[in-house]
Structures are given as C-alpha cells and as structure tokens.
Amino acid sequence: MVFDFFKGGYSAVEGVESTLVQMLVDGREVFDTATDALFGGGKSKQTKRDLQSTDRHINVAQQDVRRELMIHASVQDTVDLPLVLAYMSTVKDAERIGDYAKNVYDLVRYGADFENAPDRKELSAYRDRVSHLIGEAAEAFAARDAEHAQRLINKADGFLDDYDAQVKAAYRWEGTASDAVSRALYFRFLKRITAHVMNFLTSLVMPVDRLDYYDEAKRDR
C-alpha cells in the first residue's frame, strides 16, 4: 500500500506524518469543543475563540504539509511520488474534519441545544463514537498500523448507514421544525466527518489510485 513506497526514513516525510497526526488530534479537539457546546455548554465568546484558534492551527498545518511535500519532491534525487500524492490527498481530509466539526458549533449559534433533548442519550452516543474514531485514526496512522486502520474503516462504514437513517428519520420528527433540522444537520456533519476519517485512513491500506472515495455514496465508489 502507500507505506510500501516509503523507503529510507526521510526526515521531511516523517515530519509530514507527525503534522498529519497532530491535525487529527486538533480536529478532535474542535469536534469535542463544538459538541460540548451543543450538549449544554451553549455558545460563548471563549468557545468561539478556542474553535477559531485551533482551526487556524489546522489550516497552517495543511499549508506546511503541502510546502514540505513540494520541497521533498523538488530536492530529492529519487522521489516517492505515490507517497507525495497520497499525503496531498490525506491532508485535505484532515483539514475537512476540522471544518465539519466547526459546522457543529454553527448549530449552537443558530439555537440548537441537545442538553435536555428526549433522545439525548442516543445523540450523545453518536457524538462519542465519532470522537473516539478520530482519536483511534490518529493512533493507527502514527503507528502505521494497516490492520488497525482497516478495522476502523470497516466499522465506520457501518456508521455511514446509521447517519443516513437518522437524517431520514428527521423528516418524520414529531417535534418542532427547528429540532428536526438540527438533528438532520447534526447527523449530516457526523457522516461527513466519519467519511473524511475513512479517507484519511486509506493511505495505510490502499494504493494511491484508490484513495479518497469514502465520502461518495457506496454505489458510486
């Protein structure tokens, strides 16, 4: 797979890998902060500042990764082109995790609040498993553990079906329209985050031409 192309332990590439892991860690922090607000914390200037600060770190890291990959490709006599292409794709997915996590906080800004929701336990369980997925993905990537990555992909693929079912269920919600909309968007954002985590992990288990398809519908992959 992609790591089969990694030979010789280039320090620049190792630095890129470390940055990619940190982007996932930061993306999880954005997600946890946003969902804490959704489940009772509410909106605040401090939460907004924290989210913006961490998101800026993620954006700067994305630029750093792209720059380091370009330098690596320019100065090395023998370039691991599949590795460079894979990480150019992977860094985009890491950045998008943070972006969709920020979207969760937008729900809070619009008035969503799941603290006393009748289905709070179920909503919170979905939140927890996405947070854990991001954390486990960072661990698998840091360890270059292809088997762990494949297990996570297989598990997360089932999550996508659950999110689709929950979005459909929002159309039959018997409460207020705003509650229905907040649930539909919540599960939509969880699905997008999960799909980008899966795409991120494909760099451990798939050749470069098969990366980045889990944000497509299953029938279109």
Complete domains list, the chain, with CATH: 12-220 (1.20.58.220)
DSSP code for 206: S
Binned at pLDDT 50, 70 and 90, residue 172 comes out as very high
CA trace torsion 182, 152, 89, 210 (10° rounding): -120
Which of 166, 158, 160, 159 lies closest to 183, judged by CA? 166
Binned at pLDDT 50, 70 and 90, residue 4 comes out as very low
Q: Maximum distance among all alpha carbons in the chain? A: 64
The CA distance from 221 to 213, in Å, is: 6
Extended beta strands in the chain, E state: none
Return the amino acid letter for 18. Answer: S
Token duo for residue 39? 């489940």
Q: Please list, in sequence order, all residues whose beta carbon lies within 8 angstroms of the beta carbon of residue 151, skipping any fewer than 6 positions away.
A: none
- The pLDDT tens digits of the residues spanning 93-149 come to 999 999 999 999 999 999 999 999 999 999 999 999 999 999 999 999 999 999 999
Q: What pTM value is reported for the model? A: 0.89
DSSP code for 219: G
Q: In terms of pLDDT, which residue wins out, 150 or 81?
A: 150
CB contact at 8 A, 204 and 141: yes
